[in-house]
A and B are shown apart, each in its own frame.
With several copies, the nearest count.
Chain A
Amino acid sequence: MSRALRKKEVLERLKALGEGVYTQMQRGIFPAVRMASRSVRNIDYDPHLRQYVLGDQKVLRSARNVRHLRPLAQLLWAGHVARSLVSQGKTSTLRDLFYMAQADEVHFKDQAESDNIVTDLETILGYAREDFHVFPEERSSIFGDLTIEYTVPGYEGRRLNLMSHPDGLVIGPTLTSAEFVHCNAKICIVIEKGAMFTRFVEEKAYERFKALLIQTAGQPPRATRRLIRRLNQELGLPVIIFTDGDPWGMHIATVIISGSANAAHLRELATPDAKWCGVYATDIVNYKLPSDPLTELDIKRLYELKKDPRYEGELWKREIDMFLKIRRKAEQEAFSRYGLTYIVDKYLPDKLKELAL
């Protein structure tokens, strides 16, 4: 769907939300808003879409219930703000929103509460908050031979090749909304940590593997997940993901691949064909990596992952079991025990062969 069309639809849905409540009040009935439930029981894994989706259960925010009064007022206020941002072409953050509420005497007891209302709005509209211009604060960055064309006001039509700056370009609202013009990369390598990203740039991994490099700085923000999806879908780039060798690293990969339960109300964030390429538990053994014992929390997390439908593939099963067997974990930097270049000279080629890429 084109950006202009998306914008039009977001505005229409916002208006419909207001209209519904307005009409009910005019008829003298307590206004209510119905939306899909995001409770755990209503989140299912869709094997076809290969991501989490919401089921058919609905919840009602009704002014008949005194406990719903405040969230209902907050929701309508958030809709009002979203409408202003989209029509004026401005962006904002979750934290901004929390403060802006005070101007309109809408009270949020903390930012967690206002964040939750934004998620409600996403659920009702069926659009991610980036579509109504609310961006996260964390930033990832990107480097590689991709030329983009900006669409933001003031930069429309300007182009940039993402190899321009070897320290990386920040993935923010302007990059997310840019169009892809030309790409010489053949693969996209997503890397959990900034230091490893620098190592890949320094060792010219982008040349040797014709790679776009993306560093997520931990769990990637949604804007980055969407960018990865677009690289995969629009440009047909295979995506591999390189994280720390522990349950949390695995889960960074899984969220990129299959989405999160938290965003089950949204589509177009997941990249189902992306592949996790390490650090595997078996790598810890095979490469004799320096490692630390798993904590109790790590182990608990592994047992949770075993029950998670996103972890049904052979690879996941094998690695989870191996983690539980060796009870150890390793960071990406652990390869430095073989020298700084080992990871690009040896490990990455091995892995690409193993994944048949």
Chain B
Amino acid sequence: MTGMAVFEEISPADFFYRNRDIAGFSSPSRAIYSTLRELIENSLDACEAVRVLPEVRITLRELRPSPTGAFFYSVRVVDNGSGVPGDKIPQAFGQVLFGSKFRLKQTRGTFGLGGTMAILYGQITTEMPAHIVSSTGDRYIHDYELMIDIQKNKPNVLRYKVHTNRDGWHGTLVEFTMEGDYTRAMPKVLDYLKQTAIVNPYADITFVDPKGRLYVFERTIRKLPSPPKETLPHPYGVDAETLYRLIAMTNTKSLSAFLMEHFHRVGKSLAGKVLERANLDPNRSPKTLTPSEVSDLANVMRSFEDFLPPDASCLSPLGEEILEAGIRKELNPEFVFVTKRKPSAYSGYPFIVEVGIAYGGGIPRTGDIVLYRFANRIPLLYDETSDVSWKVIHNLMDWRYYKVNPAEDPLAIIIHLCSTKIPYKTVGKEFLSDRPEIEREILNGVRLAARNLMLYLMRKRRFEIGKKRFDLYARYLPKIARFSTLLSGHKKEPDIGPLLAKVSSLGLESPGKMKGREGSHEQSPKEEGSS
């Protein structure tokens, strides 16, 4: 028999090396964008982790042309964040699927791939080591040069030095070379930075691009969003696999204690009810459960109606003040309304939706609503039409009801979703899948925002109408006086002064009041002779 298959195993680093398209490194221009983005997001996370107002300095230098018609660049990002402990640095930057982002806590990155993928890509395209300098603010600054052993998925340290940290500096510097195409990536990169500034108005970001141009995104508010807390899993998100893991590691002696200790918002009485429904003795040791009992328990937990929704303390929304500051700073609109929705949950993961609407001023008329999408403070730039927000705005909203014309009005909508787990559809982190719970919250937020915009526009129009009103009287009363005088054959025109005075002082009935039987005659003009 011929053609027998050969079976083999590959490492995760090797897998992503072979399939780098799916992580956002499909072309030189995309690679530049993805690299900057991953590094900036890691920096911002590292700052917020230690409650420091972020300062991120980015430098991209062009080195020489590459053989494929693109260029080689040196990329360097420095932040004032938490820093990485010296002994973790090699793995954190030289091993795929290693990192600090696998817990149930809101962070920007999700897959634990980004930073290492960027370094991996740089290594593949230039075969040069990466340079990492970091300190957690203690007495030492750690300084590494390393490469990734792709087949083994292990870091390979080429050089390691320790410096004395005289100034108590904390933060991380990442520097490496890579192939890329900045010219083509530039619009997206600048767009990304601008949008990042919208949701991080408390950050100070500078970027020196390969042409030597300096872009500054200044801090306009000195308030950080409240920090997220780590949380236990919510029972709704549990499956048998999770239960197995927890049973293996628990120290609890009874099922009742097991549920209370390892799950979010489960108290004694709720634990009892759940176990009763699952036909399990609350005092039994969790270690004694059979596979089918584990499976039953998981099913009961997922379908039990009385759990409280997950606590949102593990989330860190921007808050209305920060979001509004960011929108005003970067978009400079005539009108802004922002709203933070109450916490909600999907599949046991808590989330909060924040919605902003911006009208007029610096918002351009593009023939459509300008949509800014953010997930855990990351701007989402690609594949807008696949995103649930796009669906909400274009398919679910009836804008006519809010007297808004998306094709004509200068309008921007800002959607920020924060969650312990963002439901991306792809590793490229570009758009959200349409979970019904999230869709509903976005829709309600956009509705509230639209309602407030409508009220603003109505007030604005009312004011303008009042101004026009007097002008109309001043224009037409003299004519009515003149022609009625001519028609009736009087010599002297009547005095319109008293009537004009009434208009300006008393304020006549509003136009709306005159409708009905005695209203204005609104028959439309017709052609002579037709009927």
Residues of A bordering B, CB below 8 Å? 14-15, 17-19, 21-22, 25-26, 28-31, 35, 37-39, 57-73, 76-77, 79-80, 83, 94, 104-106, 112-113, 115-116, 119-120, 136, 138, 218-222, 251, 255, 259-263
Which chain A residue shows the least CB distance to B526? A262
Residue B190, interface by CB 8 Å: no
Cα of A221 to Cα of B529 in the assembled complex, Å: 6
Interface 1/0s, chain B 489-529, versus A by CB < 8 A?
Answer: 11000111011001000001101001001111111111011
Closest approach, in angstroms, between the C-beta of B131 and any C-beta of chain A? 63
Cβ A76 vs Cβ B483 within 8 A:
yes
Given contact pairs A18-B488, A69-B472, A255 touches B480 in the complex (Cβ within 8 A): no
A90 to chain B, nearest CB (A): 17
A63, B479: Cβ atoms closer than 8 Å: no
Contact indicator B476/A25 (Cβ below 8 Å) = no
Write out the residue numbers on chain B whose beta carbons fall within 8 Å of the beta carbon of A25: 480-481, 484, 494-496, 499
Task: Report whether A22 and B521 are in contact in the complex, using a CB–CB cutoff of 8 Å.
Answer: no
B531 touches A262 (CB 8 A): yes
Query: In the bound complex, do residue B480 and residue A222 qualify as a contact, i.e. CB atoms below 8 Å apart?
Result: no
> CB distance B521 to A120 under 8 Å?
yes
10 extra A-B contacts, CB within 8 A, seeds A19-B484, A28-B499, A113-B525: A14-B487, A65-B514, A67-B511, A72-B480, A80-B487, A94-B528, A221-B528, A251-B531, A259-B531, A260-B530
Query: In the bound complex, what is the Cα–Cα distance between A38 and B524 (angstroms)?
Result: 10
Whether A39 pairs with B469 at a CB distance below 8 angstroms is: no
CA distance in complex: A120, B469 (Å)? 24
Q: Considering the complex, give the chain B residue whose CB is closest to the CB of A216.
A: B529
A115 and B525 contact, Cβ closer than 8 Å, known pairs A67-B514, A80-B486 = yes
CB of B251 closer than 8 Å to a CB of A: no
Distance, CA A23 to CA B313, complexed state (A): 74
In the bound complex, how far is the Cα of B406 from the Cα of A93, in angstroms? Answer: 44
- Which chain A residues border B508 with CB–CB below 8 Å? 64-66
The residue that A70 contacts in the complex, of B472, B514, B522, with Cβ under 8 A, is B472
Expressed in whole angstroms, the Cα–Cα distance for A251 and B527 within the complex equals 15
Interface size class of B (residues with CB under 8 A): 35 or more
A70-B476 contact given A18-B486, A65-B514, CB 8 Å threshold: yes
**A38 touching B476 by the CB < 8 A rule?**
no
Does the CB pair B531–A39 fall under 8 Å?
no
Q: Is B192 an interface residue (CB 8 A)?
A: no
Residues in A neighbouring B483, C-beta threshold 8 A: 18, 73, 76-77, 79-80
Q: Contact between A76 and B523 (Cβ–Cβ < 8 Å)?
A: no
Counting CB contacts under 8 A, is B346 at the interface?
A: no
- Are A18 and B485 within 8 A (Cβ)? yes
B484 in contact with A219 (CB, 8 Å): no
Interface of A is mostly: helix
Closest B-chain residue to A123, C-beta based? Answer: B521
**Residue of A39, A70, A80 touching B523 (CB-CB under 8 A):** A39
Which residues does chain A contribute within 8 Å of B519, judged by CB atoms? 59
CA distance A313 to B488 in the complex (A): 47
A37 / chain B contacts, CB cutoff of 8 Å: 521
Q: A22-B485, A113-B525 are in contact. Are A73 and B531 (CB under 8 A)?
A: no
* Contact status A57-B517, CB under 8 Å: yes
Q: Are A68 and B529 in contact (CB under 8 A)?
A: no
| A37, closest chain B residue (CB) | B521
Which residues of the other chain, A, contact B494 by a CB distance below 8 angstroms?
22, 25-26
B residues neighboring A (CB under 8 Å)? 469, 472-473, 475-477, 479-481, 483-490, 494-496, 498-499, 502, 508-509, 511, 514, 517-526, 528-531
9 contacts between A and B (CB under 8 A): A18-B483, A31-B480, A39-B523, A65-B511, A66-B469, A67-B511, A73-B480, A77-B479, A83-B487
Chain B residue contacts of A222, Cβ below 8 A: 528-529
Q: Nearest CB to that of A94 among chain B residues?
A: B528
Query: Contacts of B481 on A, CB cut-off 8 Å?
Result: 25
Q: In the assembly, what is the distance between CA of A115 and CA of B529, in Å?
A: 12
Q: From B522, which residue of chain A is reached at the shortest CB distance? A: A39
Q: B484: which A residues are within 8 A, CB to CB?
A: 18-19, 21-22, 25, 31, 76
- A260 and chain B: residue at smallest CB distance: B531
Which B residues are in CB contact (< 8 Å) with A138?
528-529
Q: Are B523 and A38 in contact (CB-based, < 8 A)?
A: yes
Which of chain A's residues have a CB closer than 8 A to the CB of B490?
22
Residues of A within 8 A of B498 (CB): 28
A195 shortest CB reach to chain B, Å: 13
Shortest beta-carbon distance, B365 to chain A, in Å? Answer: 23
Q: How far is the CA of A221 from the CA of B495 in the complex (A)?
A: 43
| B529–chain A nearest beta-carbon distance, Å | 4
List of A residues within 8 angstroms of B511 by Cβ: 65-67
Q: A39-B521, A63-B499, A64-B514 are in contact. Are A17 and B530 (CB under 8 A)?
A: no
Residue of B nearest to A259 (CB): B531
CA distance A203 to B374 in the complex (A): 77
Instruction: Check A76–B487 contact: CB distance below 8 A.
Output: yes
Task: Say yes or no: A22-B523 contact (C-beta < 8 A), given A76-B480, A106-B479, A262-B530.
Answer: no
Contact B523 A63 (CB under 8 A): no
Cβ of A60 and Cβ of B472 under 8 Å apart?
Answer: no
CB distance from A141 to the nearest CB of B (A): 16
Cβ contact of A261, chosen from B496, B517, B522, B531, cutoff 8 A: B531
CB neighbours of A61 from chain B (8 A): 520-521
Shortest beta-carbon distance, A51 to chain B, in Å? 11
The residue on A at minimum CB distance from B475 is A69
Q: Bound state CA distance, A138 and B528, in angstroms?
A: 10
B509 CB contacts on chain A under 8 angstroms: 64-65
User: Are B530 and A63 neighbours in the complex by a CB distance under 8 Å?
Assistant: no
* Interfacial chain B residues near A38, Cβ < 8 Å: 521, 523
Residues of chain A lying within 8 A (CB to CB) of residue B472:
66, 69-70
C-alpha spacing A66/B476, complex, angstroms: 10
By beta carbon, the residue of chain B nearest A218 is B529
Q: Are B520 and A67 in contact (CB under 8 A)?
A: yes
A62 → chain B closest CB, angstroms: 8
**Bound state CA distance, A113 and B514, in angstroms?**
21
Q: Which of B496, B517, B523, B531 contacts A255 (CB 8 A)?
A: B531
Q: Is the CB of A260 within 8 A of B523?
A: no
Inter-chain CA distance A79–B483, complex, in Å, is 8
Q: Which residues of B contact A120 (CB under 8 A)?
A: 521
